[in-house]
Structures are given as structure tokens and as C-alpha cells.
Amino acid sequence: MPARRTITDAQIRHAAQLYREFGPKHTARELGLPEYKVEYLVRKAIHAGYLADRATPIFESGMRRTQSIEGRIQKHLTDGYILIGSDCHYFPGVVSAAHRAFVKMCREIRPAMVVLNGDVFDGSTISRHPRIGWDSKPTVAEELRVVDERTGEIEEAAGTRELYWLLGNHDARYETFLAAHTPEFQNVDGFTLKSHFPAWKPGWSLFINDDCVIKHRFKGGIHATHNNTLWAGRTTITGHLHSQRVTPLSDYNGTRWGVDCGTMAAPYGPQFQDYTEDNPKNWRSGFVLARYWRGRLLEPQTVTVLDEEAGLVRLGTEVFEV
């Protein structure tokens, strides 16, 4: 096996200097590297303090608009699609229509970025909530296996390295449980969820240009999407509530959107049966397709499952079968 090359401090400093003066494209050309590797060097340079941030204006509060914060990912996109799926709660033996449609669209659209917006992993046996009756749930090992299988299908279909997994409250159960019960195992391989899925870049939030943020959750309630974009001051794409919708908000700055991705699982799937006590759910199964066109974000589109059993899915006024 070839030895892994370590990046030296001098290389990081050099990349930072080039990036500051000439930007990403020239830096990539100069160093003979693909842009995603330059992005990696830039992240290292920011972390080491060689780059302040992406040279954006400083507000009076002293906070930069795209301040580098642990867990925050900042990306730039001029033209291309972003596919965002949320709340997969993948379950052994179930492949939802939304998941099949997501994989199909990854293959057909070849998105610039693919985002799983939290709660990919369910973690039902390591929840802080007590067991309901004698319900039987998949083990952690079974869940990790099914998440690996489903995310593998997405990786293979998407053909991009721009894969993001933003942490959801269910995903967080994995480390929360281990930190509480086996604190001595901190930093041991496999004791973080992300270590099982190295192809996916983890974070709390993904900021695109200066007009969009994608994260698992923010405000709650029936007006969550409106409040999210109102309080974030930019288009805000969340999951968590499973209630797929796109809410526009226009002010003197133009129009932005509060978006709930819905759930990639089937709303009446086995993972939700007991804890929702078979109540009606104001949920919709599907995901979101966003597009940057000449640097502008167009209104994000919902892709919605019409019929789980028949595998019918709608995008705009088109219906397709998966």
C-alpha cells in the first residue's frame, strides 16, 4: 500500500497565500490539484489561522458574514443542482419510494452537491426515551449496516465527492450514548458516527454562497419555515418536522425561502409506528431539489411521493415511477 502523504505546514501556508491573492481556480491550477483538494487545504489554513475567512465584510458586531465556525461548512456554487434529503431514519428491509427517487435523480441530474440533512440514522434502541411496551427495534449494528447500504447507493449514483451529512438529533444519539456510558473510549476508532461513513463530510450547517443555509432544525411549530428564513435572514433549508413545504418571504432584499425537506422515510413506516401511536401525521415523504443559476438560487422544488406502494413520485407537474 502506498504511504499516505502528509501535508506540511509550509504547503498549507503556500496554498493560503495563493488562495488569498488569486482565488480557488488559480490556486488549483498552480498547485496541480483538483478544486476539492484546494478546499481541503483552505479549511486547514483557516483552522491554522493563516486565512481569516473568505474575505467577506465584517459587521459592526465583529462577526463576519461567513465566519469560520467549528461544524459550519461554507461552499460556493455558481451553476448546478443541490439534492437535499432529510430524515431518512433508514430501517432494515425497507427501501422507501423517496429513497429510490433520490437515487434515480442523483443518477440523472448529476448534482453538484448532495446533502443528507440529518436523522439519517434513527438510533431507536439508544434513545433517551424508554422502550414502548415490548416493541422490537433493530440493533445499532443492523442500523449501521442499512445506513451504509442506502448511503452507498446514493454515493454510487451521484458520482460527486461533494457529499454532506448535517447532524440531526437522532444521529447525535450515537455519540451521546457512548459519551455517557463509555466516556473512557473518547477518540477510539468507531466511537463517532462519522467515522463509519468517511465519504460524507459532517457538519452542523452548510452555508452556500451568502444567501442559503442548510441545517437539520431551527424553529419549531406550524410556522417554522417562515420563522426560519425570517430569523436566519437567508434561505433556510431544514428537516426534522417531516412536513415538506416551501414558504416564500419577500422584503426589501427580494425573495427568499423557508424550506422543510419532508422525510425520506414513509410517514407510516415501521420506525414511526409506536412512538406516534398511529396518530395522523401532517408529514410528507420526499426531498428537495435546489438549483443555482448564474449565482442565483432559484425557488427550491419539492419532490413528493404520491403513492408509497405504487412508487409514484411527483416533481412539478411530472409524475414518475420508481
Contact residues: Fe ion, CB under 5 A? 119, 168-169, 240
Which CB sits closer to Fe ion, 54 or 215? 215
Least distance from C-beta 133 to Fe ion, angstroms? 23
Least distance from C-beta 171 to Fe ion, angstroms? 9
Which CB sits closer to Fe ion, 67 or 127? 127
* Closest-CA residue to 246 (of 293, 319, 316, 306): 316
Least distance from C-beta 144 to Fe ion, angstroms? 18
Q: How do 80-85 and 286-293 pair as beta strands?
A: antiparallel
Which CB sits closer to Fe ion, 37 or 245? 245
Which CB sits closer to Fe ion, 160 or 169? 169
Least distance from C-beta 203 to Fe ion, angstroms? 16
Which CB sits closer to Fe ion, 39 or 119? 119
Question: What residue number has its CB nearest to Fe ion?
Answer: 240
Which CB sits closer to Fe ion, 168 or 262? 168
Least distance from C-beta 96 to Fe ion, angstroms? 16
Least distance from C-beta 216 to Fe ion, angstroms? 6
Least distance from C-beta 257 to Fe ion, angstroms? 20
Contacts 24+ apart (CB under 8 A), 7-15: 7/41, 7/44, 9/48, 11/41, 12/41, 12/44, 12/45, 12/48, 12/50, 13/45, 13/50, 15/41, 15/42, 15/45
Contact 90, 146 (CB under 8 A): yes
Which CB sits closer to Fe ion, 234 or 240? 240
User: Rounded to an integer, what distance in angstroms lies between the CA atom of residue 100 and that of residue 308?
Assistant: 11
